[in-house]
């Protein structure tokens, strides 16, 4: 987690510069869809405007940019695989029109409100000091639940045609070789490990993976920090198991915009517990060789995410990051924290140094 400040009203104002629809028109549409109250969701996404609505504010109404519609089949599949940890979503049409200045119409969705508070809100309320028994127990609880969450996808493998797998492998190899050319030599060992492991990674189960498993999107119990739900499945995709596991590092470390990552006091316990729980949930057939491959997949996912500019559908084609701009410098700091700094790099990279 970074130490940035959040201004929800500024986020909302920025969002409405991207659309032809006004905030008041969205609020009116929300009250038409669900009778009752209306309240702004305290954390807003860059590509959507979201409110609670209805009696006891029991519904969520989300207005998304037309270029970033929610894939409803993916949402249905997520609910089948992850059960109550994924929301049920209904499409309620479109408001507004695209214009010649690049502003977009909005697509409207209604979903039931999931219980809990965001992990970010939990940390702000209860996460300090970081070494108290309550803070350590909360992190341990959540890391176990996160492992169980990821294991659900392993238990529900998806069918992918061989041609699709081969195309995906070619894309991964192309991107990794681009990183070899663009990133500094200190990252090359990690990139080469992924290249060597690609055939084994592609043999892992193909799963539906959540691609933004972060503090905003995890809903937890405000008393225990048990995981109650995961929201924002807009970028979910089919890929080999493990590519999104790097997100759990955020549950064991915090991130400072100037100094990079630092580990929580009970990091070693959290790390061991995650892998022990994942193995127990998947079952006894998961051997050490597969664990090694899953960790290579995790490394691949991290490099593809942090080594490139944004992969959002409405953004420019992603290119390797550099430290020539503010965003690139931040990405380099993330890469350094988890790939090259001895005190914070992924523990399974130790044998590479």
Domain 117-352: give its CATH code.
Answer: 3.90.1200
The span from the CA of 85 to the CA of 219, in Å, is 9
pLDDT by residue (tens digit) across 52-81?
999 999 999 999 999 999 989 999 999 999
Position 315 pLDDT exceeds 80 = no
The span from the CA of 313 to the CA of 86, in Å, is 22
State the average pLDDT over residues 24-37.
96
Q: How confident is the model at residue 145 (pLDDT cuts 50, 70, 90)?
A: very high
pLDDT of residue 45: 84
State the average pLDDT over residues 180-208.
98
The span from the CA of 279 to the CA of 294, in Å, is 11
Q: Are 143 and 274 in contact (CB under 8 A)?
A: yes
pLDDT of residue 326: 81
pLDDT of residue 6: 60
Residue 179 or residue 7, greater confidence: 179
pLDDT of residue 46: 87
> Across all residues in the chain, what is the average pLDDT?
94
State the average pLDDT over residues 271-288.
96
pLDDT by residue (tens digit) across 227-267?
999 999 989 999 999 999 999 999 999 999 889 999 999 99
pLDDT of residue 312: 75
Position 3 pLDDT exceeds 50 = no
pLDDT of residue 42: 86
pLDDT of residue 319: 94
Evaluate whether 8-112 and 117-352 have a shared fold. Answer: no
Q: How confident is the model at residue 15 (pLDDT cuts 50, 70, 90)?
A: very high
pLDDT of residue 299: 98
The domain locations on the chain are 8-112, 117-352
Q: Are 120 and 73 in contact (CB under 8 A)?
A: no
pLDDT of residue 353: 45
318: tokens are 């992603």
Q: Per CATH, the architecture of 8-112 is what?
A: 2-Layer Sandwich (3.30)
SS3 call for 237: strand
Q: How confident is the model at residue 155 (pLDDT cuts 50, 70, 90)?
A: very high
Q: For the full predicted model, state whether its pTM sits above 0.85.
A: yes
pLDDT of residue 5: 46
SS (H, E, C) 252-301: HEEEECCCEEEECCCHHHHHHHHHHHHHHHHCCCCCHHHHHHHHHHHHHH
Q: How confident is the model at residue 351 (pLDDT cuts 50, 70, 90)?
A: low
């Amino acid at each position: 987690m970074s130490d940035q400040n959040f201004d929800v009203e500024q986020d909302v104002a920025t969002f409405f510069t991207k659309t032809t629809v006004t905030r008041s028109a969205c609020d009116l549409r929300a009250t038409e869809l669900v009778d009752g109250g209306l309240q702004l969701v305290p954390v807003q996404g860059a590509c959507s405007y979201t409110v609670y609505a209805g009696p006891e504010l029991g519904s969520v109404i989300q207005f998304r940019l037309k270029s970033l519609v929610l894939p409803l089949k993916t949402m249905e599949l997520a609910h089948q695989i992850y059960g109550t940890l994924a929301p049920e979503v209904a499409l309620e049409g479109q408001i507004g029109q695209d214009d010649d200045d690049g502003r977009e119409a909005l697509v409207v969705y209604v979903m039931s409100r999931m219980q809990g508070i965001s992990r970010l809100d939990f940390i702000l309320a209860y996460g300090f000091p970081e070494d108290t028994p309550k803070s350590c127990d909360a992190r341990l609880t959540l890391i176990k639940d996160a492992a169980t969450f990821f294991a659900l996808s392993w238990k529900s493998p998806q069918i992918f045609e061989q041609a699709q797998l081969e195309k995906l492998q070619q894309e991964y190899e192309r991107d990794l070789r681009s990183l070899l050319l663009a990133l500094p030599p200190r990252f090359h060992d990690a990139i080469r490990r992924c290249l060597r492991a690609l055939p084994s990674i592609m043999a892992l189960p193909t799963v539906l993976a959540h691609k933004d498993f972060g503090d905003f999107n995890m809903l937890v119990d405000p008393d225990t920090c048990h995981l109650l739900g995961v929201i924002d499945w807009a970028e979910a995709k089919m890929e080999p198991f493990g590519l999104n596991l790097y997100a759990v590092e955020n549950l064991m470390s915090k991130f400072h915009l100037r100094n990079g990552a630092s580990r929580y006091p009970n990091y070693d316990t959290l790390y061991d517990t995650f892998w022990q729980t994942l193995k127990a949930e998947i079952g006894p057939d998961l051997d050490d060789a597969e664990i090694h491959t899953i960790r290579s997949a995790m490394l691949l996912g991290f490099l593809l995410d942090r080594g490139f500019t944004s992969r959002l559908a409405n953004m420019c084609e992603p290119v390797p990051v550099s430290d020539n701009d503010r965003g690139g410098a931040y990405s380099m700091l993330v890469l350094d924290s988890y790939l090259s700094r001895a005190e914070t790099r992924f523990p399974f990279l130790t044998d590479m140094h």
